[in-house]
Amino acid sequence: MANYSLTFQNVTKIFGRRLIFKNINEELSSGNIFGFSGKNGSGKSTLIKIAAGIISPTKGKIIHSNNNKKIIPEKLHNYMGFVSPYLFLYSEFTAEENLLHLSNIRGVAYNKEYAKDLLNKFELYDRRNDYLKGFSSGMLQRMKFIFALLHKPSIIFLDEPTSNLDTKGKDKVYEIVKEEGKDKLIIIASNEESDLELCSKILEIEKYKN
């Protein structure tokens, strides 16, 4: 198992005059599922975007390391998977074409067998040749998980991971998240109690606003 770690050093974010959170200090490592909790608008998505290197903190810094070697920001995408409501999918492509295109963007060989395994796990293999424009919102959400897992990342960010999923879909996602969390670092941003029950530790954003 890779020894992956994510360190927050005095991470602070301010939008205009509005303080979102300040002085967050945490060190997270592989084999754990960690949660960011807070009411809507509290800053969960902002924090997970900062952790993933999508946006920058106002103050402080984020450090990603793999086997004690720091990862430069330009290479971070090779190590991480990301699931969110705002993730873009190509509706004019089939499910498998999307996965092939994603592999090309990442510059990695398309692992057809692993893609088949993921499509089966998320019960989408029979729809692999269908265009995403015909998928339901729940099916699209499951496709986002396949996107995130396809390149076998060391760290997985899940922002509101069970949005648009029915009970059966949630159960399937929870089963896979628990399995992936055995040797990867997983971070979940959510205010859903059932999502946060997966986490061994939870950062409550409201505590970092004063």
Among candidate residues 88, 199, 78, 77, the one with its CA nearest the CA of residue 143? 88
- The pLDDT confidence band at residue 19, using thresholds 50, 70 and 90, is very high
Q: What are phi and psi of 208, to 5 degrees?
A: -115, 30
CA distance 35 to 80: 16
The HSE-up count of residue 209 (CA atoms within 13 Å, CB side) is 16
**pLDDT value of residue 190:** 96
- Contact 154/184 with Cβ under 8 angstroms? yes
Mean pLDDT score, 145-159: 96
SS3 45: helix
Tokens 């954003």 sit at which residue? 205
Q: How do residues 178-191 score in pLDDT, each as one tens digit? A: 999 999 999 999 99
**pLDDT value of residue 144:** 96
Q: How do residues 65-105 score in pLDDT, each as one tens digit? A: 999 999 999 999 999 999 998 888 999 999 999 999 989 98
Supply the mean pLDDT for the chain: 95
Enter the pTM of the model.
0.94
Where are the extended beta strands (E) located within 18-134?
Answer: 18-29, 32-37, 59-66, 69-70, 80-83
Q: What share of the chain in percent tops pLDDT 90?
A: 92
Mean pLDDT score, 133-152: 95
Q: Is 202 exposed, middle or buried (0-12, 13-18, 19+ CB in 10 A)?
A: middle
**pLDDT value of residue 108:** 87
Among candidate residues 129, 196, 141, the one with its CA nearest the CA of residue 168? 141
CA distance 141 to 43: 22
Q: How do residues 53-63 score in pLDDT, each as one tens digit? A: 999 999 999 99
Q: Is 66 exposed, middle or buried (0-12, 13-18, 19+ CB in 10 A)?
A: middle
**pLDDT value of residue 107:** 85
CA distance 24 to 206: 11
**pLDDT value of residue 28:** 97
Give me the residues paired with residue 80 across strands: 155
Q: Is 201 exposed, middle or buried (0-12, 13-18, 19+ CB in 10 A)?
A: exposed
Residue type, 101: H
Which domains are delineated in the chain? Answer: 4-202 (3.40.50.300)
**pLDDT value of residue 1:** 56
Mean pLDDT score, 14-43: 96
- Contact 51/187 with Cβ under 8 angstroms? yes
